[in-house]
Amino acid sequence: MANSFADSPRQAEPPPVLDGDFAVFSGKPAFAKPLHVGRPNIGDRTRLLERLNGILDSRWVTNAGCYVRQFEAAIAEQIGVRHCIAMCNATVALEILIRAAGLRGEVIVPSFTFIATAHALQWQEITPVFADIDPATHTLDPARVEAMITPRTTGIIGVHLWGRGCNVEGLQEVATRHGLKLLFDAAHAFGCSHRGRMIGSFGEAEVFSFHGTKFLNSGEGGAVVTKSDEIAARIRLMKNFGFAGEDRVVYLGTNGKMNEFSAALGLTNLECMEQFVAVNRAHYERYRRELAALPGIALVDYDAREKGNYQYVVLEIDAGRAGISRNSLLRLLRAENVLARRYFYPGCHRMQPYRSYFPHAGLLLPHTEALCERVLLLPTGTALRDEDVSVVCRLVRAAVREGPGLERRLASHPVRPPA
Ligand code: T4K
């Protein structure tokens, strides 16, 4: 299907081509302008502008305005949970949820995630304990989680990476057996299902991100979704300074509110969600077709029986078989203006402050460490044209075709400092 959301000025340009040599050496870059991972999906502008005008006319810009309430209701209905509490971003939503759920001491999380999952704990002096992932799914391995439990453990936070549900049943089983709370960081997984049930409805509560780079974006934004009346009530207080009435503060709180402008963008994008999925899926299928049968290059798969948002195109590169390493491919693509990303390199345990706190954590994270060296995310989303995807695939195919020779040339070629 043609992508009607792609940037209009770029549509006039002819499809870029690989011109002679790779740009990292002397060729012309395949793309005149950068192709990003994480360009925002933007829905119906007319509808958005109507809503923005409505906000200005009403002079009601935040504090439980009508768009925040509509956004929350629409999300709760779509996920099939009783409560959705919209917030200013997913990191603050995680922090507040962690506190509202009563976590303390140690909480088990993957290291193969965005740093916010760990920081949301450490920020409130709860120790994130990193457990290894299952290399087949990239998500927490329940057996490794169980091995990390100590008398100080109070909870587990699973991450539905790339929008694929983690082993919810295995984690729930471990949590129940040890009397632990189970929460999920569902930042990547809005609109996705696991075993036929919408992600957002598992564990005690889950957190979505609506950051600009996410499938559904409200600029900045996030939400806690839960079926628990108790957790929801506590979070509503905590995200609004603990106010239970005009002059009545009943709880320690902070400011985690979503504003009306974000909610208007979120609502508008929510209405276009099916079209975003269709574009993402078409790009994903094109990548799959055009990168099929390349030795050592595997595209992370989505289960077609589940609902998916197809927001991430994730390559796993086996340098030995592909003849080119992930880092060399990244260098090569960047020079072509394809700004691929190494999410979540080098792993939270190798970032500060965790690197200093737990210098030997990597010994218990062999699959995480191996994956951090293999993963590369390619651009996708509604900002890309179908032809762009094909050109990226041509570049990857050319890199693999020239594999070891290319590695030798790159090794002797100086790395240019960023412009
Ligand atoms: N848990 C998980 C598993 C997460 O992945 C995240 C966030 C969170 C929790 C926390 O959610 P929030 O608190 O953010 O709601 C980005 C995002 O900032 C972050 O939200 C996201 N994960 C993470 C995976 O990616 P960076 O450092 O990669 O962002 P940046 O600025 O390099 O942007 C990525 C690409 O997107 C760039 O190539 C440019 C493009 N872009 C970005 C923005 C913001 C645009 O084209 N337009 C834009 O407006 O972290």
Q: What is the pTM of this model?
A: 0.95
Domains and CATH numbers, the chain: 9-33+273-411 (3.90.1150.10), 45-271 (3.40.640.10)
Ligand 1 closest atom vs CA 344: 24
Structure tokens at 322: 């592909």
The C-alpha atoms of residue 358 and residue 137 are separated, in whole angstroms, by 25
Cβ neighbourhood burial of 347 (10 Å; 0-12, 13-18, 19+) = buried
pLDDT one-digit tens code per residue, 69-103? 999 999 999 999 999 999 999 999 999 999 999 99
Report the separation in Å between the CA atom of 32 and the middle of ligand 1, taken as the mean of its atom positions.
Answer: 23
User: pLDDT tens across 45-68, in order?
Assistant: 999 999 999 999 999 999 989 999
Name the residue of 92, 95, 96, 114 whose CB sits within 8 Å of the most ligand 1 atoms, as the mutation to test its pocket.
Answer: 114
Query: Does ligand 1 come within 6 angstroms of the Cβ of 222?
Result: yes
Of 128, 270, 282, 283, which Cα lies nearest the Cα of 208?
270
Among 93, 125, 121, residue whose Cα is nearest residue 108: 121
3-class SS of residue 209? strand
Which pLDDT score is estimated for 20?
75
Positive or negative, the CA dihedral 34, 308, 96, 55 is: positive
130-143 per-position pLDDT tens digit = 999 999 999 999 99
Q: What angle do CA 192, 198, 201 make, to 5 degrees?
A: 130
Token duo for residue 184: 């999920």
Provide the terminal-to-terminal Cα distance of the chain, rounded to the nearest Å: 36
Residue ID of nearest Cα to ligand 1 atom 3: 114
Residue 417 has pLDDT above 70, yes or no: no
Tell me the pLDDT tens digit for each residue of 157-205: 999 999 999 999 999 999 999 999 999 999 999 999 999 999 999 999 9
Q: Which of 265, 208, 220 is nearest to 93 (CA)?
A: 208
Phi, psi (rounded to 5 degrees) for 38 = 95, 25
Mutate to test the pocket of ligand 1, among 36, 140, 213, 265 (most ligand atoms within 8 A of CB): 213
- Here the tokens at position 26 are 């002397």
Q: Is the CB of 41 under 6 A from ligand 1?
A: no
The minimum-distance atom of ligand 1 relative to the CA of 209 is: 15
Q: Is 382 in the pocket of ligand 1 (CB under 6 A)?
A: no
**3-state DSSP call for residue 129?**
strand
Answer whether 310's CB lies under 8 Å from 281's CB.
yes
pLDDT range class, residue 10, cuts 50, 70, 90: very low
pLDDT in tens, 222-273: 999 999 999 999 999 999 999 999 999 999 999 999 999 999 999 999 999 9
Report yes or no: 279 and 1 within 8 Å, Cβ to Cβ.
yes
